């Protein structure tokens, strides 16, 4: 098979995998109420920033969700409306607002993570450990490259890209 045929196969597989982001809304719930995937992404962005010892701003959430600032602001509003996050003044810059997880947001993140890991474990249960390790390494490498390149249609951050 040629490189182009492999790339074509990769494209086809990625299109088929879109269902990973369209799980039934009833899959992850907060106090019995289904949680939107967009709110899960806001929660994840805030949690990752907190784990890195950083504040999460609308700008950060826009970058994480690959959306415009105004769209990210609406996503935060939606997540705040159901009690997953709250807006607070930034301690480092009075002009900025930080977005922080609530206790409900932290519980929802735990449930979402557990849901994904349980599902992945089930899907990969018959795979040899070495194959799972190799897949994780390659997908991480691919994700890192996508982060450098940016989404389709955007100028790459690396000059050699």
Q: Where are the domains of the chain?
A: 24-123
Cβ atoms 101, 85 nearer than 8 A: yes
And the tokens for 154? Answer: 């955007």
Total-model pTM: 0.79
33-81 tens-digit pLDDT? 678 888 999 999 999 999 999 989 999 999 998 899 999 999 999 999 9
What does the DSSP 8-state code read for residue 140? H
Residue 117 is encoded by which pair of tokens? 């890991």
For residues 69 and 75, give the distance between their C-alpha atoms in angstroms, rounded to a whole number: 10
- Candidates 3.40.50.720, 3.10.520.10, 1.10.10.10, 3.40.50.300; correct CATH number of 24-123? 1.10.10.10
- Using DSSP's 3-state secondary structure scheme, residue 155 falls into coil
Q: Show the beta-strand stretches assigned E in the chain.
A: 29-30, 33-34, 85-89, 97-101
């Amino acid at each position: 098979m040629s490189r182009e045929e492999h790339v074509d196969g990769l494209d086809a597989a990625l299109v088929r995998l879109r269902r990973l982001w369209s799980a039934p809304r009833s899959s992850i719930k907060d106090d019995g109420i289904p949680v939107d995937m967009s709110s899960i992404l806001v929660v994840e962005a805030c949690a990752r920033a907190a784990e890195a010892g950083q504040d999460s701003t609308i700008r950060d959430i826009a970058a994480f969700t690959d959306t415009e600032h105004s769209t990210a602001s609406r996503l935060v509003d939606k997540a705040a409306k159901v009690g997953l996050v709250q807006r607070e003044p930034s301690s480092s810059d009075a002009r900025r607002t930080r977005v922080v997880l609530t206790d409900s947001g932290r519980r929802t993140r735990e449930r979402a993570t557990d849901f994904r890991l349980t599902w992945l474990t089930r899907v990969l249960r018959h795979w040899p450990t070495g194959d799972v390790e190799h897949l994780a390494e390659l997908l991480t490498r691919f994700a890192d490259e996508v982060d450098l390149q940016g989404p389709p249609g955007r100028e790459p951050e690396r000059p050699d890209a």
